[in-house]
Amino acid sequence: MKRLSAALAFSSLLAVPFSAQAQFAKVEDAVKYRQSALSVMGTHFGRIGAVVKGEKPYDKATVERDAAIVETLSKLPFAAFPPGSEAANSKAKAEIWKEQDKFKAAGEKMQSEVAKLSAAAKSGNIDTIKTAFGAVGQSCKACHDDFRKK
């Protein structure tokens, strides 16, 4: 019974990103949600970047924690792109809604690379972390190039 309860609780957590779109009363709420998730994700990714660039000393626990946060947050923003949310105060290009399959693939690519970064952080191998960090950066850049206004 405990396992069933745990499984149900876990599956409900997985559904949150997929049901988030329905939770936005206004388009502005969706924009704020995704911008917030991406901002916090960027902050923690930047902390890893400082280590990768040698600007901060390497601490396995800190890098591992930051990578785990990035991995969790990487799943959140994509539910917050309802039609019309490219409007006011958004850097989202209309291509997101015109090329939804390409946008979805870009998000999945980023999430895959972030999962690899999280695994690399757990390994404690700084060279592996650097390689994985670069791959995440490339996936972010590719999506920004195609789907984010300058």
Give the CATH number of the domain where residue 85 resides: 1.20.120.10
Instruction: Tokens for 65, please give them.
Output: 């924690």
Residue 121's nearest CA partner among 46, 38, 58, 73 is: 58
| Whole-number pLDDT of residue 88 | 63
91-138 per-position pLDDT tens digit: 999 999 999 999 999 999 999 999 999 999 999 999 999 999 999 999
Number of domains in the chain: 1
| Whole-number pLDDT of residue 21 | 46
Q: Which residue range forms the structural domain that includes residue 102?
A: 2-147
Q: C-alpha distances in angstroms, 53 versus 15, 75, 131?
A: 36, 26, 12
In terms of phi and psi (left: phi > 0; alpha: psi -120 to 50; beta: otherwise), the region of 114 is alpha
Report residue 124: phi and psi, to 5°: 80, 5
Range from 2-6, 56-60, 66-70 carrying the lowest mean pLDDT: 2-6
